Amino acid sequence: MMQIMEGSHAVAEAVKLIKPDVVSAYPITPQTHIVERLAEMAADGEIDSEYVCVESEFSALSVCLGASAAGSRVYSATSSQGLILMAEVVFNVAGMRLPIVMSIANRAIGAPLSIWNDQQDSIALRDSGWIQLYAEDVQEMSDLHFLAYKVSEDHDILLPSFVCFDGFILSHTYEPVDIPTQEEVDAFLGPYNAYQMLDAKNPISMGMYATPDYYLEFRYENDAAMVRSAEALKVAGKAFGEQFGRDYSGLVESYKMEDADVAFVALGSICGTIKDAIDEMRENGVKAGLVKIRCYRPFPAEELRAALSGVGTVAVLEKNISLGSAMKGAVGPEVKDAMDGTGTAVFSYVAGLGGRDIRKRDVAAIADLALKGEGNMFYGLREELI
Amino acid sequence: MALNIGCAAPPGKSRDNKTGSWRVFMPVITKEKCTMCGNCILLCPEGCIVEVDGYPVIDYDFCKGCGLCANECPSEAIAMIQEEK
């Protein structure tokens, strides 16, 4: 049913329909409204989930790890410093192949302290073995949770997922959103069926110590599951589309790419601004297009290469910085790698860090820079401050 | 043997960990010098030297190559040889 709803509440409604056995999270801006609403639902008996209050994010994800190992469907949510505090557990969850889904309301990382949006938090954990999905609008941020559980819990995959969305820009924005019925969600997800669990009658240890004779192969298996998850995401995204009318079969999504001379690549809510900017740029004779990355891990190199084929210049908008790297942003080098040998020029532009707005005219200015061959730089620096 | 998903293991799985792979130096007993005193069997911290037909025999699956046996052997019958792997 279509409703006008705050992004965070749309996520809470999705989680309610997913029916996790255990929810554990620690409130942090801008994720707070999600867990506040879920705690309210648990207190009011609207959901049967065990809501475990903890004293830190490290404990929150540790509770989730234990609950998932014990055979439960599990949900958590965090942001920024909270995710970084969880980091050790984040890697363990992936290595133990526990299909936990966690919402990330993307926020900058300190120092300097900032509560505002960029994507540094989840991108800093790109190598942790979690699937990473990025939403452009409130509808997508709700929908991607169903998709994430479907793929994570697949016994051929068994990897945890981040569902990422820009803090405030999406988490605190009211938009019309179609929330499916319980019957529809049950039909799509099916009942949770744990692959293995801690059971006193049939004891196992999980997350065991591996000597040098075994460790490399465990990491290989982790990566192989990540590779398989790309196809699983496409299949589940297509099935979701057939059932709910919103197709997520592509790991990337193209906008006006048919005749584009210059293409943007970006993740998250900025894609909406870029689309509007592209419409204006085209009125001024600049043939621009966009390839939105919905799935950052596994990295959709083949899909990007196909979507960007024939484009002369690519501008990657980065809401993150890989300090000290040649291209500045973390996404750009992987896009460049995907385009290796095609002759397409790929540049990164670090913009919008710590909540600085990226406006339509900024997008157009970045296209101009890319077409002039100027890139791998910060965009929009206030020169008077440096 | 395929790996268990999620590094999961049933009880007793540690027996499969052949810690002998950690070894850099390998103890080798020269039977002619051995006086069958049994010191090496008693002192091996891994308990991986056992008596067979009156002589010490080393279980190389678990010997980590610490060299205690060679150091303590009163008749210097144990040499530590660097292994090529």
The CATH number of whichever domain residue A155 belongs to comes to 3.40.50.970
Structure tokens, A342: 């095609």
> Among the three residues A244, A267, A301, which one is the final residue of a domain in this structure?
A244
Per-residue pLDDT of chain A (386 residues; tens, 9 = 90+): 899 999 999 999 999 999 999 999 999 999 999 999 999 999 999 999 999 999 999 999 999 999 999 999 999 999 999 999 999 999 999 999 999 999 999 999 999 999 999 999 999 999 999 999 999 999 999 999 999 999 999 999 999 999 999 999 999 999 999 999 999 999 999 999 999 999 999 999 999 888 888 899 999 999 999 999 999 999 999 999 999 999 999 999 999 999 999 999 999 999 999 999 999 999 999 999 999 999 999 999 999 999 999 999 999 999 999 999 999 999 999 999 999 999 999 999 999 999 999 999 999 999 999 999 999 999 999 999 99
Q: Show Cβ contacts of residue A293 under 8 Å, excluding neighbours closer than 6 positions.
A: A134, A251, A252, A265, A266, A267, A300, A304, A331
CB contact under 8 A, A218 and B9: no
- Best residue in A100, A218, A228 to probe B by mutation, most B CBs within 10 Å? A218
Residues of A in contact with B19 (CB under 8 A): 211
Q: Which of A268, A250, A273, A245 is nearest to A366 (CA)?
A: A273
Name the residue among B3, B10, B21 with its Cβ closest to that of A204. B10
Cα–Cα distances in Å, from B24 out to A113, A185, A343, B18, B27?
A: 49, 57, 50, 14, 10
Residues from chain B contacting residue A212 (CB–CB below 8 Å): 21
| Total number of domains in chain A | 2
Same domain, A263 and A130: no
A49, A16 in Cβ contact below 8 A? no
How many interface pairs between A and B have CB atoms less than 8 angstroms apart? 50
Residues A29 and A169 in one domain: yes
Q: How far is A52 from chain B (nearest CA, A)?
A: 24
**Do A193 and A323 lie in a common domain?**
no
Structure tokens at A195: 């692959």
CATH architecture of structural domain B35-85: 2-Layer Sandwich (3.30)
User: What are the extents of the domains in chain B?
Assistant: 35-85
Domain end among A244, A279, A314: A244
> What CA–CA distance (Å, rounded) separates A27 from A115?
13
Check whether residue A22 and residue A100 sit in a common domain. yes
Confidence of residue B84 (pLDDT cuts 50, 70, 90): confident
* Statement to judge: residues A64 and A136 lie in one domain: yes
B3·A203 Cβ contact <8 A: no
Distance CA A371, CA A275 (A): 18
CB contact under 8 A, A158 and B18: no
Q: Which domain holds residue A361?
A: 252-385
Could you give the CA distance from residue A276 to residue A290 in angstroms, rounded to a whole number? Answer: 11
Across chain B, how many H-helices and E-strands are there? 2, 4
Of A195, A227, A244, the one marking the end of a domain is A244
- Shortest CB distance from A96 goes to which of B6, B11, B21? B6
- The vertex-A73 CA angle with A164 and A108, nearest 5°, equals 20
Q: Which residues of A touch B11 (CB under 8 A)?
A: 203-205
Q: Looking at the structure, do residues A162 and A86 belong to the same domain, yes or no? A: yes
